[in-house]
Structure 1
Amino acid sequence: MRLTKYGHACIRLEVGDRVLVIDPGTLSEAECLLGATAVLITHEHEDHIDVAALKAARELNPALTVHTHAALAAELGDGVTAVEAGDAFTAAGFAVRAVGGAHAEIVDGLPGCPNLGYIVDGVYHPGDSLFVPSETVETLLVPASGPWLKTGEAIGFVRAVKPARAFPIHDALVNELGRDNFDRWLDGKGGTDYSRVPLGGSVDLP
């Protein structure tokens, strides 16, 4: 499986001609959706879904499937499949399980919206949450920044999930100094094989 890192929280997974994209938001490059056969959306914030770009991709390819939580699926309209935490399904030929259910709190109960994480053939994208699933995770996509997150919590999240490897996501608002600082902490204290996939870069997962 090839994993490609796009802007912010967007990840593209490919095996042959099967292409699954997770969270193509407004901080992600438009080309992330080219050739996609399925899309997973964790929640409705625009840094995780670019509604206009997704609509254009679906018009270009009516066979493109989209899965997300029920409230957002209803907003996006016909052809979008609603899923909830605990559901197992197939998208672009990948085995997917939805987990979690709630966005991490920033303050005073906000934002208080649904958030689904997705485990895709051992790759876990948590969206805006630090939910620890019961399933074995081989590759963890760990959020690196957000008003709901501090570095110590990211380290604790990696330690709790116990993946074979971890790569950072959710990092578009962090400058180079901040990224380097986060990487040093996660590499030194995360307890797993940690590295950064450069923007637009890819890694082949075993």
Structure 2
Amino acid sequence: MQITSLGHSCIRLQHEGCTVVIDPGCFSDPDALEGADAVLITHEHVDHFVPDRLREAGGDIDIWTNPAVARHLTDLGGRVHTVRHGDAFDVGPLEFHVYGEKHATIHRDFAEFDNVGFLVDGVFHPGDALTVPEEEVRTLLAPAGAPWVKLAEVVDYVREVGPGEVFLVHDAVLSPPALSAHTQILSSLVGGPHGPAVRTWSAGDEVGLSGAGGSSSQAVPRT
């Protein structure tokens, strides 16, 4: 399976001719939906979900998301599929498992927001939550920084999930020096000789995963 960063928390998954995009928000590549067979949305915040992008994409792209997001897309009819924690669904050869129910708390004065994470073939995108799946995670897409999380919480989250490797997402809220500092701290606290590698990537970087038997990967800039 090939994974491409499309900026912030948006990624593209490609496997056996199938293309799935997760969380094409306002900070991601404006052409993120090009060639997509399906789109997965973790929650309704604008850095993960721009309704008009999905409408303008046209075609027959299926959309998988939680009920709160689906309520914004009733005009798209049967293309929109609602999922909840514990569900599973297939997109072509890819089987996705759904984990999580709520967005991490931003502040007690904010209402709670629905949030679902998606796991496929050992790769987990949690959206804006620190959900721990009930199955093995080989590649974790962990938040580099956000209004709703402290770096110490990310360290504990990575330790609890225990992935083979970590790719940092949700990074548009950090300056390059801050992202570098966060990466160094995470690497020192969760890495080491027996811990996961903590990697950063830029929009357009591609990652090739070795498949169900392992998670050896490397970010390769797209030319």
- How many angstroms apart in 2 are the aligned matches of 1:111 and 1:132? 22
Is the CA contact (8 Å cut-off) linking 1:197 and 1:203 kept in structure 2?
Answer: no
Matched residue, 1:67:
64
Any idea what SS the aligned residue of 1:103 has? coil
Matched residue, 1:163:
163
- For residue 158 of structure 1, what is the amino acid of its counterpart? V
- For residue 114 of structure 1, what is the amino acid of its counterpart? D
Q: Deviations over 1:82-121 (max 9, x none)?
A: 1100001112431101101000001115240100011011
Q: CA deviation at 1:74?
A: 2.5
CA root-mean-square deviation: 1.1
Q: How many residues are paired up?
A: 203
Matched residue, 2:6:
6
Is the CA contact (8 Å cut-off) linking 2:15 and 2:94 kept in structure 1?
Answer: no
Matched residue, 2:47:
47
TM-score using structure 2 length: 0.88
Is the CA contact (8 Å cut-off) linking 2:16 and 2:93 kept in structure 1?
Answer: no
Q: What is the percentage of aligned positions where both structures have the same residue?
A: 39
Structure 1 stretches of 4+ with a deviation exceeding 3 A read none
Instruction: Answer yes or no: is 1:76 the counterpart of 2:80.
Output: no
Q: CA deviation at 1:30?
A: 1.5
- How many angstroms apart in 2 are the aligned matches of 1:111 and 1:185? 31
Is the CA contact (8 Å cut-off) linking 2:25 and 2:46 kept in structure 1?
Answer: yes
- How many angstroms apart in 2 are the aligned matches of 1:90 and 1:118? 12
Is the CA contact (8 Å cut-off) linking 1:38 and 1:92 kept in structure 2?
Answer: no
Q: Deviations over 1:8-60 (max 9, x none)?
A: 11011111421010000011111211100011100000100121111111x1x
Q: After superposition, where does 1:10-159 map in structure 2 within 5 Å?
A: 10-57=10-57, 59=58, 61-62=59-60, 64-77=61-74, 78=77, 79-108=79-108, 110-159=110-159
Any idea what SS the aligned residue of 1:101 has? coil
Q: Which runs of 5+ in 2 are unaligned?
A: 211-223
